[in-house]
Amino acid sequence: MSMSYPANPPRGGFRIAVGIGLLVLSGLLFVRAAGPWPGDTIVWPAAVAALGALLIWRAPAVVPRRPRGWAAHRSSEQRPSRRQSEPERVRVRGRPEVSRGGLGVALVLAGGFAFLWASGAMRPAGETVLAALAVLIAVALIFAPSWRRLARSLAAERTERIRTQERADVGAHLHDSVLQTLALIQRSAEDPKQVAALARHQERELRGWLADGDSRENGRTLAAAVDAAAAEVEAAVGGSIEVVTVGDCPLDERARAVVAATREAMLNAAKFAGEAPVSVYAELSSERIQVFVRDRGPGFDPATVPPERRGVRESILGRTQRAGGRAAVRSQPGGGTEVEIAFDRGDKR
């Protein structure tokens, strides 16, 4: 009997197996009704063999989980728990699949033998078969250790390959970002402002990359989007913006309005703050979204802002109100400015 071992069975593999099984069954029933039939002794061995085949099909190929991004590269004293657990995890994962596949093979073989035995094909050749079986078992016993070793070295080699690739990824990223920035810094060494801006930009980028490659880079959450907006504003206007976020939530339509208004507030703050850093605090809970943008600039008296100055009124207050939230600007001459943007998440718009 030949059996295919799909390297990575697709989701529909199980259904296909069931379908084939049903087709074979109907074919057998047809043959039983119409044609030559060896006798009902075939039924139970066939059922056992089918069960074994099913087990083999269902056993997924053993694929070690790729260690996630940077985590695999942190030095062991920094992340002892994760580093140590990695190889173990691979091994533990491999075991049940292997034994399931083994059980399947045993069942298929048992089914085949049972059929041969029951149909009487074995009786004349009984001794030959027994001898062949003994030789097979002996060969298996002799070569099992080396097969085992081979499998193990294959797994080790695969792990090593994954490591190497990760290292290449890290190297490529460092080259693209950090080394480039360092070169830029050397070239603009006379301009301290430029150097500081470059360093901050690089720091933010590297932190984002280290913290969480995927979700934050793509800006799928509100916290990530606020971070990204802060980086943009820093790049555009200069100055430094310290972002602190508590909690997080997905970037839905309302959250987008929050980000847009926050960005506008950060732009204003960065323009007027001067040297002092701008503080951004975002608290994102299930009930509400609340963002504070505070600068330590000269401040102003909100009552004296002429109506044609649309920046704050339109892009922060108006935008937030249209999206169903509320915003407030608190400022005093000499006391800095704070913009608060708040949305309740419980209510419908």
Partner 1 sequence: MPRVVIVDDHDLFRAGVRASLGPRVEVVADSGDVESAVHAIDELRPDVVLLDVHMPGGGGVEVIRRVGASRPDVRFLVLSVSDASEDVIALIRAGARGYVTKTISGPDLADAVCRVRDGDAVFSPRLAGFVLDAFAGEIPAAQVDPELDLLTPREREVLQHIARGYMYKEIAAQLGISVKTVEAHVSAVLRKLQLSSRHELSRWALHRRLVEE
Positions that interact with partner 1 (CB under 8 A): 68, 71, 77-78, 207, 210-212, 242, 244-247, 277, 279, 281, 283, 285, 292, 294, 296, 338
- Which CB sits closer to partner 1, 248 or 264? 248
User: Measured from the CB of residue 299, what is the shortest distance to partner 1 in angstroms?
Assistant: 13
User: Measured from the CB of residue 174, what is the shortest distance to partner 1 in angstroms?
Assistant: 17
User: Measured from the CB of residue 314, what is the shortest distance to partner 1 in angstroms?
Assistant: 24
- Partner residues linked to 326 by β-bridges: 342
User: Measured from the CB of residue 277, what is the shortest distance to partner 1 in angstroms?
Assistant: 8
- Which CB sits closer to partner 1, 216 or 263? 216
- Which CB sits closer to partner 1, 121 or 210? 210
Which of helix, strand or coil describes residue 283?
A: strand
User: Measured from the CB of residue 290, what is the shortest distance to partner 1 in angstroms?
Assistant: 9
Integer Cα distance of 274 and 25 in angstroms: 81
The angle that helices 43-58 and 80-119 make with each other, rounded to 10 degrees, is: 160
- Which CB sits closer to partner 1, 80 or 120? 80
What are the b/e assignments for 17-51, b being 16+ CB within 10 Å? beeeeeeeeeeeeeeeeeeeeeeeebeebbebbbe
- Which CB sits closer to partner 1, 56 or 267? 267
Residues 297, 273: contact at Cβ < 8 Å? yes
Integer Cα distance of 70 and 156 in angstroms: 20
- Which CB sits closer to partner 1, 207 or 310? 207
- Which CB sits closer to partner 1, 108 or 331? 331
298 phi/psi in degrees, rounded to 5? -70, -20
Integer Cα distance of 125 and 23 in angstroms: 33
User: Measured from the CB of residue 247, what is the shortest distance to partner 1 in angstroms?
Assistant: 6
Nearest to 54 by CA among 90, 24, 91: 24
User: Measured from the CB of residue 154, what is the shortest distance to partner 1 in angstroms?
Assistant: 26
Element (H, E) at 110: helix 80-119
Structure tokens that stand for 1 in this block: 């009997």
CB neighbourhood size of 150 (10 A): 11
Residues 305, 249: contact at Cβ < 8 Å? no
- Which CB sits closer to partner 1, 242 or 314? 242
The angle that helices 180-187 and 192-211 make with each other, rounded to 10 degrees, is: 170
User: Measured from the CB of residue 207, what is the shortest distance to partner 1 in angstroms?
Assistant: 6
- Which CB sits closer to partner 1, 117 or 281? 281
User: Measured from the CB of residue 71, what is the shortest distance to partner 1 in angstroms?
Assistant: 8
Element (H, E) at 327: strand 326-331
Structure tokens that stand for 8 in this block: 């990575």
34 phi/psi in degrees, rounded to 5? -105, -35
Integer Cα distance of 145 and 127 in angstroms: 29
